[in-house]
Every structure is written in structure tokens, then in C-alpha cells.
Structure 1
Amino acid sequence: MKKSILLILLLFSGITALATETKITVRVKAKDAKFIGSSLGGAHVIIRDKTNNRILAEGKTSGSTGNTDLIMNTPKRRGASITDEQTAKFLATINIDEPTFVNIEVLSPFNNKQARVKASTELWLIPGKHILGDGIILEIPGFIIDILKPRTHQYISLNTVKDTPIQVKANIVMMCGCVINKGGLWDSGDMEVKGILKKDGEHIKDINLSLTETNLFEGNIAVDSAGNYELIVYAYNPESGNTGVDKVNYVIF
């Protein structure tokens, strides 16, 4: 019995010894912006063996959004890095004993479900052949939009809004959390931000929203009847193709 156990242990240790530590860096970058890191809660990364869908590594990117000048303003040259030591990443260490075809999937922004996007790619990992430096970079398009006013399922008396329009407030940032302001690197003037108002399922009107302070867009809704209302706020940048949406339902009684 003891010999059998010893033989199994020797066989297991032999198999383990064949596995080679292989490191891979995964980074997640917002389209037309910077990297997604700790300030936004990180992007969730899952690396799977394509043969059996087994998870080989899983975790979140951490670190800074990166060097703005290097990422956004420096002309790109083949082989030149766009990251530094502080730039957000997920470093996976995987033990494999033969070339392994993997799927890398990222979910981001992980803590903002209404804006969450999934991006993925596939590649071969070779035992002991590390993929470091900039590593594998996956891009996440869009905007993160949070409607602040009106509140979800808020009940508003018709008497209070007959003479005073309902205020609309929406916080909008890039997918890395980078700020939007007037005349800045991410210029509000390049973006179309509107609200689509529905009552009892029927479209009523569109509302223009404009920047009032960093990341904050505001507008007003005039209503004259009770009902169940839905407000859809969207942002669109025709140059980059970035889009984003948030929705809220409220009641006028």
C-alpha cells in the first residue's frame, strides 16, 4: 500500500515537474482614452484553456490609467511602448507543459453593470515564453453614464412640476474614468448628449443636455400630465464612435 502511494506521488511530481511557469501581462484600454485600473475598480480578466474551457488565471487589472502624454499625444512608432511601470495590468502566471491555445476575456467597467463591455481575444501560450511589456491589450469602447436626477422609481407630484421643469443630471466619463470637460483632451464639445423621454411606453420628446461642470451634464424636462415615464440618456462621439447609455424610470402622479 505504501509503495502504491509512493508511486502515485512520484508520478504526480513528475507531471508537475514538466509544467513550466509562463507569465502573461493583460491590459485593458478604453477606446480613445487610457488604461482601466484601480481608480475605476479594475477590469476583470479571465484566461481559459480553449480545449476544455478550464480557467487558468483570473483577476483584476490594477495600477494607474497611465501616462497621458505617452498614450494620447505621442506619435505611435512600431515597437514603442505606451505603458510604464505604474500602468494598470493583470499579470498571470500559468503553469503549462505544452503549447496551449487560450481565450482571454475581459469585463469592464466591472463595477458599472449598465456600461459593462466584454472584449476577448485568443492566442497560443508557449511554455516558458513570457508575454510581458505592454503585453496583450484589449480595447473597451464607450462611455460610462450614470443618471443622477431624476432618481430610479422616484414619485413626483404633478403639482410640483407644472411650473418648474424636472431637472436632469447625468455624470458621464470615459471608460477608463478619464474626465470630460469643455475644451479638454476629452472635449464635451465633440459629444452629442441627449435624453429621450417616453411616457407609458410612447416617445414624447428629446432633451438636449449640456456640460455644467466636469463630467456633469444637465437639462430640463417640462411635463404636463401624470404617467409612467422613462428617460434614456445617451452620449455619442461621431469622431471616435464611442457611445453610452443609461436609463431611469420615474412616476408623475
Structure 2
Amino acid sequence: MNAFKMVTLVALPILSLAVQPVFSQVTKIVIRAKAKDAKFIGTGIGGAYVIVRNNTTGEILDQGYTTGTSGDTELIMNTPIARAVRLTDDNTAKFEAQLTISEPIFVDVEVIAPINRKAASVKATTQFWAIPGKHILGDGIILDIPGYILDINYPTTHQTIAITSLPQGSLKAKVHLVMMCGCVINKGGIWDADDIEVKGLLRRDGKILAEFPFEITDEDNVFEGTLPLTEKGSFELLVYAFDEKTGNSGIDKVSFVIN
């Protein structure tokens, strides 16, 4: 075998290796859901559901729940935010997506939170380039989730209430209100009940009969209002919560019967 052939035979495998495509790499992306004006949405409230898709093909690259704690209250709520300072620690709720990719991919991220509370769930989305082997860790990608979780505790859906049981033609209604992360709302707290307008609308046959305020009670998260009721019939109670400073809002409604 002459020298030329020998060099060629040696060079071919090297050339072949040089043109091989880069192998797929697992790329880690931390994704978190944070309640607006509050903390992170984690295990305690049921978590957020995260879906990561290839923007071009629609293929789901990874999906799952955020798990962990809601985070450090002092750090998140009371410490001025400075560049490159983390808001989270190793225990703060997150979903770590693992994308097996061989080239940069433009991805869509969809977060639904809190996933266990369908009536209050909000969908937030974002997009970014995922690059093979370039992990996004630390605080990761944080999506803001606005709103409140509001539940009417009394009256309950389709409850029948005797008109004779109503003192002086009124009914005490109760609602339960928390931040989207499950954080406590009370009087004078970090999430101060006095900053939140909670109001009820009593309706019948689509017409508003009365509007009335709800006030915080001695129990955390529980507000109470007095419904004026002097007639029998079917009614609808709609209650909303609204914070003018943050724009957070929540709503619930029930139908009930006075008999």
C-alpha cells in the first residue's frame, strides 16, 4: 500500500467524525409560577402545571407540576430587589424541565396555576430560545400569576334556606379569600384585608337587587357580609375581590333558594 492510500484511509474516518451531527443533549430549564404581589405557587396549594412545547412543531418537550415551598417571605416581600440577587432557594417551588435537543429550539412555555383550583386558575405564557447544554437554573424562568382564590362558603350552591330563619330579613354570607400562592389575608398583615375591596351583588332574574360590602372577621381569610333578604325565591350571589394597587381580582358566585 503506497503512502497516499494509507493517508487517505486514515483521513477518511477522521473526516467522517468531523461531519457527524452534534449528539442530543439534556438541557435543564427551571420554571416557576409566582403569585402577583405574593409568593411562589407550590405543593401547599397544589402547584402549577407547566407545559413546554416546540414552537415550530407543537411537540410537547416536557411537562409537569411545580413542587416545593412558597419561598422566603422576608426575601420575597420585604427585601428590595437587586440585580443578580436570587428570590429563591433550593426548596422554593419549581418545575425542572429536561429538554433533549440537538439544536437551538424556540419554545413556548405555558403555566396553569393554581392547577387544583379550576375556578381561579390563570394561564400564563412566555417564549424563549433553548440552546443545547445551556441550562437555565437558579431562579430560572418566572411567570407572574395574577388574581385571588375566592370561595363563597355560605350560602352554598343550591342551598334552601327557610325565610323564618333569617333574623330581621337578612342573611350573613361568608367568603374565604387567599392569595394565589395560598398566602394568608388578614387585618394588618403583609396581605392586608383593608387594601382589598370585597363586595357582594345579590341578583334575581338577572337584575341586581342589592350591593353590599364584606368585612374581614377575626378568622384569617374569612370575610362576612349581610345580604338583605325579605322575599322567597331563587337568588344568585356574586362576590368579587379587588385590589386597586396591584390589580389582583377574584370572583365566585352561587345560586340559592329562600323558601
- Structure 1: how far apart are the matches of 2:165 and 2:81? 55
Q: Deviations over 1:132-153 (max 9, x none)?
A: 0000000000110011000001
Q: Note the C-alpha offset of 1:216.
A: 0.3
- Structure 2: how far apart are the matches of 1:132 and 1:90? 11
Alignment of 1:31-110 (within 5 A): 31-110=36-115
Give the aligned residue type for 2:143: L
% identical equivalent positions: 52
The equivalent of 1:250 in structure 2 is 256
Q: Note the C-alpha offset of 1:198.
A: 0.2
- Structure 1: how far apart are the matches of 2:198 and 2:167? 25
Q: Note the C-alpha offset of 1:158.
A: 2.5
Give the aligned residue type for 1:215: N
- Check conservation: 1:162, 1:223, Cα contact below 8 A: no
Q: What is the number of equivalent residue pairs in this alignment?
A: 239
The equivalent of 2:161 in structure 1 is 156
- Structure 1: how far apart are the matches of 2:183 and 2:23? 45
Give the aligned residue type for 2:229: V
The equivalent of 1:200 in structure 2 is 205
- Check conservation: 2:169, 2:230, Cα contact below 8 A: no
Give the aligned residue type for 1:235: A
- Check conservation: 2:210, 2:228, Cα contact below 8 A: no
Q: When the two structures are superposed, what TM-score results if normalisation uses the length of structure 1?
A: 0.91
Q: Deviations over 1:152-183 (max 9, x none)?
A: 01112223326352221100000100000110
Alignment of 1:1-253 (within 5 A): 18-161=23-166, 163=168, 165-212=170-217, 213-253=219-259
Give the aligned residue type for 2:42: G
- Check conservation: 2:169, 2:229, Cα contact below 8 A: no
Give the aligned residue type for 1:66: G
Q: Note the C-alpha offset of 1:199.
A: 1.1
Tell me, what secondary structure is at the counterpart of 2:184?
coil
- Structure 1 portions without partners, runs of 5+: 1-13
- Check conservation: 1:161, 1:222, Cα contact below 8 A: no
- Structure 1: how far apart are the matches of 2:214 and 2:169? 17
- Check conservation: 1:192, 1:236, Cα contact below 8 A: yes
- Check conservation: 1:200, 1:227, Cα contact below 8 A: no
- Structure 2: how far apart are the matches of 1:84 and 1:20? 26
Q: When the two structures are superposed, what TM-score results if normalisation uses the length of structure 2?
A: 0.89
- Structure 2: how far apart are the matches of 1:202 and 1:226? 16
Tell me, what secondary structure is at the counterpart of 1:114?
coil
Give the aligned residue type for 1:151: T
- Structure 1: how far apart are the matches of 2:63 and 2:236? 38
- Structure 1: how far apart are the matches of 2:118 and 2:172? 24
The equivalent of 1:9 in structure 2 is none
- Structure 2: how far apart are the matches of 1:206 and 1:79? 47
RMSD of Structure 2 on Structure 1 (CA)? 1.4
Give the aligned residue type for 1:158: I
Tell me, what secondary structure is at the counterpart of 2:119?
helix
Q: Note the C-alpha offset of 1:120.
A: 0.3
Shift >3 Å, 4+ stretches: none
The equivalent of 1:10 in structure 2 is none
The equivalent of 2:3 in structure 1 is none
- Structure 1: how far apart are the matches of 2:37 and 2:183? 10
Q: Deviations over 1:95-134 (max 9, x none)?
A: 0011011100000111111111000000110001000000
